[in-house]
């Protein structure tokens, strides 16, 4: 195992604590969730992300038992939630344990196009961030269209399957008809077996 001062968390935090990064964050950007610890539990991965918000900055922390809120989602669901700017279709699939107010504020931060746009403008510059936003908007529209079409196709498939699958009454009638046919065949056989 890597020493703590050589871990990836150490280097990410070094970036987050650099003057360039701190100066790129608008003043009072994280005030609503200052002092909170958010745990992001990515299902199907043996990795939890712990984010501590403090003094208008954030820091990844390791081995923290106490947290204010835990968000539990698959990596894809969480990524789609961020990309779709908080779409209800994905937010409904994120389980929340702990302080609901903190979760709501954190989710608002993640899904706030204005705050993300402001942060991107400070970090990347206006031209690059506008291009990136346009690309993400196109990708989001494509994903939403894909999910809507897929949902519609699944509903159509299920409706078609329901029409193909026999009902209990259909099965009962079929069995009665088979029994009737068998008894008539037996009767005919008895009448004509001597011929």
pLDDT digits (tens, 9 = 90+) for 11-33: 778 777 777 677 766 677 778 78
Cβ 25 vs Cβ 15: under 8 Å: no
pLDDT in tens, 143-179: 667 666 666 667 666 666 666 777 888 889 999 999 9
Q: Is residue 2 over pLDDT 60?
A: no
pLDDT in tens, 50-60: 888 888 777 88
Q: Is residue 82 over pLDDT 80?
A: no
What percentage of the chain carries pLDDT values higher than 70? 66
Q: Is residue 115 over pLDDT 60?
A: no
* Per-residue pLDDT at 121: 62
Cβ 132 vs Cβ 83: under 8 Å: no
In the predicted model, what is the mean pLDDT of the chain? 75
Q: DSSP readout, 65-95?
A: ---SEEEEE-HHHHHHHHHTTS-HHHHTT-E
* Per-residue pLDDT at 1: 40
Instruction: State whether residue 121 is helix, strand or coil.
Output: helix
Helix (H) or strand (E) holding 32: none
Higher pLDDT pick, 37 / 131: 37
Strands (E), 43-188: 47-54, 57-61, 69-73, 95-98
Q: How confident is the model at residue 71 (pLDDT cuts 50, 70, 90)?
A: confident
């Amino acid at each position: 195992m890597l020493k703590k001062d050589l871990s990836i968390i150490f280097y990410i935090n070094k970036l987050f604590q650099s003057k360039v990064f701190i100066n790129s964050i608008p003043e009072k950007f994280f005030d609503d969730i200052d002092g909170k610890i958010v745990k992001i539990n990515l299902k199907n991965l043996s990795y939890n992300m712990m984010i501590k918000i403090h003094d208008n900055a954030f820091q990844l922390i390791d081995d923290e038992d106490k947290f204010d809120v835990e968000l539990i989602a698959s990596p894809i669901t969480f990524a789609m939630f961020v990309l779709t700017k908080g779409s209800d279709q994905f937010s409904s699939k994120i389980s929340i344990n702990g302080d609901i107010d903190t979760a709501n504020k954190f989710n608002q931060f993640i899904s706030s196009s204005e705050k993300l746009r402001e942060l991107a403008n400070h970090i990347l510059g206006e031209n690059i961030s506008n291009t990136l936003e346009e690309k993400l908007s196109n990708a989001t529209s494509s994903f939403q269209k894909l999910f809507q079409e897929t949902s519609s196709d699944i509903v159509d498939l299920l409706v078609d399957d329901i029409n193909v699958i026999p009902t209990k009454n259909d099965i009962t009638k079929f069995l009665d008809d088979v029994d009737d046919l068998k008894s008539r065949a037996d009767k005919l056989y008895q009448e004509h077996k001597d011929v």
